[in-house]
Structure 1
Amino acid sequence: MTGELPMRVPDAGLPARVRIHEVGPRDGLQNEKTIVPVAVKAEFIHRLADAGLTTVEATSFVHPAWVPQLADAAELMPLLEDLGDRAVRLPVLVPNERGLDRALSLGVREIAVFASATESFAQANLNRTVDETLTMFEPVVSRALRAEVPVRGYLSMCFGDPWEGPVPAAQVVRVVLRLLDLGCEEISLGDTIGVATPGQVTALLGALGEAGVPPGRLAVHFHDTYGQALSNTLTALRHGVTTVDASAGGLGGCPFAKSATGNLATEDLLWMLQGLGIDTGVDLRRLVATSDWLASHLGRPSPSRTVRALSHKES
């Protein structure tokens, strides 16, 4: 890789710093046909931390039959214990109290729960209604908080649903407020099938603001199905959001929504943020090298345009 980096042209209307919530090891690998060995996953996460990422979602404590790619969660977490000493946050996804028990027994310090803004996806993902899902999460969140383990709430299908079509903002606001009432400290707004456009992002963030939800309690999670993830992210930043989910190398999708393609690539996000003069603390070159390394284990090139461009320059 050459020394090429984007020209920095700061924009005064944007935040000075953005926290990247790296989801590649969980949301990325869960959708891969190749089941990555646990030692490779551990090295992947260490490499991400070495590149400067301070929040890396490590895995999911779901039933192995649901997501066999992450069935080794109990084996993985002990391999990451040294990262806690480096103040790297390693949240994990838990679907229910049983998953919480497994996570807490391994010393997990942060968890996330996964809700839906639509009834169709709630049934496809957890075989429950939206309200039944939230009821299931009540003891999970309360027990985690009693154990001083903070909880993030993921909310899927915030913009469009493959069964129901466009999702009204009021529908999303209702579930966001319920998750906050449960005790979630942050809500990640998911464009699970990648259909959102900047106008929708503006409308939803405006509706949430009118409902009293500050942007500091929100994160955005865009999939790049139609090439809109970066423009949607930039729109969210202009509305005060400072936490962005992304996946190294553009890994991922959703096993329960077949129209979902890869997540926003962390490298593509970094190229944009660095060009805007926004600090992330992440070394783009090291991250590209990490995604190249993982691509060799997956047997295919990274879909990230930035990874491909910088790797090509190196060769």
Structure 2
Amino acid sequence: MSLPQVEPSSVMPDRITIYEVGPRDGLQNEKTILSTDVKAQFVRRLVATGLQTIETTSFVPAAWVPQMGDAPQLLEQLGELGRGADRPVLVPNERGLDAALAAGVGAVAVFGSATETFAQKNLNRSVEESLRMFAPVVERAKAAGLWVRAYVSMCFGDPWEGAVPIDQVVTVCEAMLALGADQLCLGDTIGTGTPGHVVRLLDALGEKGIAPATLGVHFHDTYGQALANTLAALAKGVRTVDASAGGLGGCPYAKSATGNLATEDLVWACRGLGIETGVDLTELVATSVWMAGQLGRPSPSRVVRALGDSGQ
């Protein structure tokens, strides 16, 4: 496998944490319903690449997201590999938390919105009502010793409301962190963000005392901006980046949301910048080629396409 020439940058970190969302956000919108065995093999293969943090599934009703209907069975099959603070699961409410706790998870994530329209479409609640729903979820999760992440979606644009004012995003972010979450993740759900927008939002959050170290970023690649936005965030001090093996992903409640930043594309860029990720790119490409085969279509990742033959 050919690798990029390493040219470190003084504004980039030495190491980042990749928060792999392929098994959850990557698969949730796929029409092909995969077996629990295939999903478990996907997680095991991702672990074998060196990825440390992997969001495995979502405890939502199967009627909402059919692909995630086997969450308890998946975690049972994974055993200890599916538990711990580095294996978060998404929970929408206390009922989801109850199921996640029964499965023995060590970390959970809640999923809020910066806009009213998406809050209604995704959770059938206003932003304020969503925050009230999340409060006991976070409180109980923390009391049980779990690590908690809070997603804020639609931070860079909304398909129904259009541009989202930065002050509005900051207000929701402050409220989500005030619930007691360990990490806040900024979501560009429909992929309309650009690097300057990313910098402005991070600066605005910093003015409110929300440091980059407490943040993760989650960029969709609808307009080809995910990697550029990620590099802008890293230059501002963010050290946790969401990515999805093979560029899988989308949002069932926002049809304009296409794939996530491909983990391979992120790892390739980090290699060239001298940023350590701990990921074996050859194994990762092979895993994404394998998953593309399970789904019956080629991967959208540029690196997977370029290195697919050598990665198998």
**TM-score when scaled to structure 2?**
0.98
Q: What is the rounded CA distance, in whole Å, between the counterparts of 2:143 and 2:280 in structure 1?
A: 36
Question: Which of the numbers 124, 138, 142 marks the counterpart of 1:127?
Answer: 124
8 A contact 1:267–1:304 mirrored in 2: yes
Q: What is the rounded CA distance, in whole Å, between the counterparts of 2:215 and 2:257 in structure 1?
A: 22
Q: Give the counterpart letter for 1:75 in structure 2.
A: Q
The equivalent residue for 2:252 is 255
The equivalent residue for 1:58 is 56
Q: Give the counterpart letter for 2:61 in structure 1.
A: H
Question: Which of the numbers 224, 232, 237 marks the counterpart of 2:234?
Answer: 237
> What is the aligned-residue RMSD (CA, Å)?
1.2
Q: What is the rounded CA distance, in whole Å, between the counterparts of 1:187 and 1:208 in structure 2?
A: 11
The equivalent residue for 1:307 is 304
Q: What is the rounded CA distance, in whole Å, between the counterparts of 1:147 and 1:250 in structure 2?
A: 33
Question: Residues 100 and 314 from structure 1, CA distance in 2 versus in 1: closer, same or farther, beyond 3 angstroms?
Answer: closer
Q: Give the counterpart letter for 1:280 in structure 2.
A: T
The equivalent residue for 1:31 is 29
Q: Give the counterpart letter for 1:225 in structure 2.
A: T
SS of the aligned residue for 1:166 comes to coil
Q: Give the counterpart letter for 1:173 in structure 2.
A: V
SS of the aligned residue for 1:153 comes to strand
The equivalent residue for 1:178 is 175
Question: Which of the numbers 262, 265, 273 marks the counterpart of 2:270?
Answer: 273
Correspondence 1:6-21 to 2 at 5 A: 6-21=4-19
Q: What is the rounded CA distance, in whole Å, between the counterparts of 1:88 and 1:208 in structure 2?
A: 26
Deviation at 1:84, TM superposition (A): 5.9
How many residue pairs get matched? 312
Q: Percent of aligned positions with the same letter in both sequences?
A: 64
8 A contact 1:22–1:55 mirrored in 2: yes
| 1:107 is aligned to 2:104 | yes
Correspondence 1:144-223 to 2 at 5 A: 144-223=141-220
The equivalent residue for 1:291 is 288
Q: Give the counterpart letter for 1:40 in structure 2.
A: V
SS of the aligned residue for 1:257 comes to coil
Q: Give the counterpart letter for 2:49 in structure 1.
A: A
Q: What is the rounded CA distance, in whole Å, between the counterparts of 1:151 and 1:47 in structure 2?
A: 25
Q: Give the counterpart letter for 1:24 in structure 2.
A: G
Q: What is the rounded CA distance, in whole Å, between the counterparts of 2:307 and 2:147 in structure 1?
A: 37
8 A contact 2:282–2:311 mirrored in 1: no
Q: What is the rounded CA distance, in whole Å, between the counterparts of 1:259 and 1:36 in structure 2?
A: 23
Query: Structure 1: any 5+ residue segments left out of the alignment?
Result: none
Deviation at 1:198, TM superposition (A): 0.5
Q: What is the rounded CA distance, in whole Å, between the counterparts of 1:23 and 1:80 in structure 2?
A: 16
* Residue-by-residue CA offset, 1:106-148 (whole Å, 9 max, x unaligned): 1000000000000010011011000000000011000001101
Q: What is the rounded CA distance, in whole Å, between the counterparts of 2:178 and 2:254 in structure 1?
A: 27
SS of the aligned residue for 2:27 comes to helix
The equivalent residue for 1:45 is 43
Question: Residues 197 and 82 from structure 1, CA distance in 2 versus in 1: closer, same or farther, beyond 3 angstroms?
Answer: same
8 A contact 2:191–2:257 mirrored in 1: yes
Deviation at 1:314, TM superposition (A): 6.2
SS of the aligned residue for 2:28 comes to helix
8 A contact 1:54–1:88 mirrored in 2: no
SS of the aligned residue for 1:187 comes to strand
After TM superposition, where is structure 1 displaced by more than 4 Å over at least 4 residues in a row? 312-315
Q: What is the rounded CA distance, in whole Å, between the counterparts of 1:246 and 1:220 in structure 2?
A: 9
Q: Give the counterpart letter for 2:206 in structure 1.
A: G
Deviation at 1:312, TM superposition (A): 4.2
Question: Which of the numbers 196, 217, 222 marks the counterpart of 1:225?
Answer: 222
8 A contact 1:14–1:238 mirrored in 2: yes
Q: What is the rounded CA distance, in whole Å, between the counterparts of 2:300 and 2:110 in structure 1?
A: 28
Q: What is the rounded CA distance, in whole Å, between the counterparts of 2:284 and 2:118 in structure 1?
A: 33
Q: What is the rounded CA distance, in whole Å, between the counterparts of 2:172 and 2:85 in structure 1?
A: 29
Q: Give the counterpart letter for 2:97 in structure 1.
A: L
The equivalent residue for 1:116 is 113
**TM-score when scaled to structure 1?**
0.97
Deviation at 1:175, TM superposition (A): 0.9
